[in-house]
């Protein structure tokens, strides 16, 4: 069965389920990190069973959905939604819903010599804590992960918590972020289905020069690039941090009452 495609505006809201309330919290801010001064990272992402670089899976499976930067293997009952930043003219993320859970996938450029998940994970944890949320670092199937309860404001003005699980995978010159929602946050059996989707992802980084953390934008199936690629780093040689926004989350599955 082919996956169902939908397009979502970047700032669209999802329906929520009423269960649990929390105090209101301020909007998160983006921490600033100078990647040039960062120390080499020691922790490694587990890519022994994927996701893959295109050099490791060069052949295109006809059953895969080609989104340019990401290639996804379809599943029966899978719903694929592409999130579009219309102001920037970019397809920014792919959100997959399957068996009652969801995962949002985004890919970013990364340095050749080291990964960036340790840095990003620390920034996400610090931002959630500042909001008044709760976050725990745990071992996961892809390496170190975060389990979080994030304070959010619902469309009707009430406060709630959004449970989320953040996983990051460092690849060769790329970083893939997967944010899980729904039962997949805490239920290993529910998570296994979406984890297999992430494992089957093939990342097509490209050879162009890009600043670390720069978004690898997606394309609609059967189309070319959404916008012309920029082959140069920032003018002063410093990495751009505006493209990787750790607190932008995928499908909202929020607990309120």
| pLDDT score, position 161 | 87
Location of structure tokens 């040039």: 36
Top pLDDT among 158 and 200 is at 200
pTM, two decimal places? 0.72
Residue range(s) defining the domain that contains residue 234: 4-27+69-223+230-256
Q: Is residue 36 part of a domain?
A: no
**What is residue 110's three-state secondary structure?**
coil
- Mean of all residue pLDDT scores within the chain: 76
Mean pLDDT score, 68-95: 92
| pLDDT score, position 83 | 93
- Enter the tokens of residue 56: 């490791």
| 247 in Cβ contact with 28 (< 8 Å) | yes
Q: Is residue 165 part of a domain?
A: yes
- Enter the tokens of residue 4: 């169902």
| 45 in Cβ contact with 168 (< 8 Å) | yes
Return the top range by mean pLDDT from 21-30, 159-168, 227-236.
159-168
d(CA 41, CA 26): 31
pLDDT band at 73 (very low <50, low <70, confident <90, very high): very high
- Pairing of the two strands 143-153 and 159-171: antiparallel
From residue 49, give the alpha-carbon distance in Å to each of 115, 167, 188: 18, 15, 17
Mean pLDDT score, 226-248: 39
| pLDDT score, position 63 | 83
Mean pLDDT score, 197-212: 93
**How many domains, the chain?**
1
Give Cβ neighbours of residue 86 (< 8 Å, ≥ 6 apart): 9, 10
181: nearest Cα among 97, 125, 70: 97
From residue 119, give the alpha-carbon distance in Å to each of 34, 35, 39, 88, 213: 10, 9, 10, 26, 11
Instruction: Name the CA dihedral angle for 27, 177, 10, 248, rounded to a multiple of 10 degrees.
Output: 0
Q: Is residue 178 part of a domain?
A: yes
pLDDT band at 246 (very low <50, low <70, confident <90, very high): very low
Q: Is residue 106 part of a domain?
A: yes
| pLDDT score, position 105 | 97
- Enter the tokens of residue 235: 């003018």
Say which DSSP state 113 is in: S
Q: Is residue 174 part of a domain?
A: yes
pLDDT band at 46 (very low <50, low <70, confident <90, very high): confident
- Enter the tokens of residue 88: 């920037």
Residue 144: beta bridge partners? Answer: 139
pLDDT band at 61 (very low <50, low <70, confident <90, very high): confident
Q: Is residue 42 part of a domain?
A: no
164: nearest Cα among 78, 248, 92, 93: 248
Mean pLDDT score, 135-160: 92
d(CA 110, CA 81): 25
**What length is written for the chain?**
257
The answer on pLDDT for 51 being more than 90 is yes
Q: Is residue 45 part of a domain?
A: no
| 184 in Cβ contact with 192 (< 8 Å) | no
| pLDDT score, position 201 | 96
- Enter the tokens of residue 98: 């399957």
Q: Is residue 164 part of a domain?
A: yes
| 93 in Cβ contact with 218 (< 8 Å) | yes
The answer on pLDDT for 59 being more than 50 is yes
Tell me which of 53-62, 65-74, 228-237 is least confident.
228-237
């Amino acid at each position: 069965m082919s996956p169902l495609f939908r397009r979502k505006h970047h700032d669209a809201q999802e329906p929520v389920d009423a269960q649990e309330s929390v105090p209101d919290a301020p909007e998160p801010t983006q921490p600033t990190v100078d990647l040039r001064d960062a120390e080499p990272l020691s922790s490694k992402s587990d890519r022994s069973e994927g996701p893959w670089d295109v050099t490791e899976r060069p052949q295109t499976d006809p059953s895969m959905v080609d989104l340019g930067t990401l290639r996804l293997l379809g599943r029966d009952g899978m719903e694929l939604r592409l999130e579009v930043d219309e102001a920037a003219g970019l397809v920014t993320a792919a959100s997959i819903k399957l068996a009652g859970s969801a995962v949002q996938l985004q890919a970013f450029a990364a340095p050749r010599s080291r990964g960036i998940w340790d840095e990003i994970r620390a920034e996400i944890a610090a931002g959630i804590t500042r909001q008044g949320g709760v976050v725990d670092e745990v071992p996961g199937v892809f390496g170190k992960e975060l389990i979080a309860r994030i304070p959010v404001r619902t469309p009707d003005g009430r406060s709630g918590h959004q449970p989320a699980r953040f996983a990051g995978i460092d690849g060769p010159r790329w970083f893939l972020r997967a944010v899980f929602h729904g039962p997949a946050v805490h239920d290993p059996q529910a998570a296994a289905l979406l984890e297999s989707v992430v494992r089957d992802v093939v990342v097509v980084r490209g050879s162009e020069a890009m600043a670390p953390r720069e978004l690898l934008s997606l394309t609609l199936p059967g189309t070319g690039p959404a916008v012309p690629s920029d082959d140069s780093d920032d003018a002063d040689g410093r990495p751009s941090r505006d493209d990787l926004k750790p607190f932008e989350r995928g499908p909202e599955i929020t607990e309120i009452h």
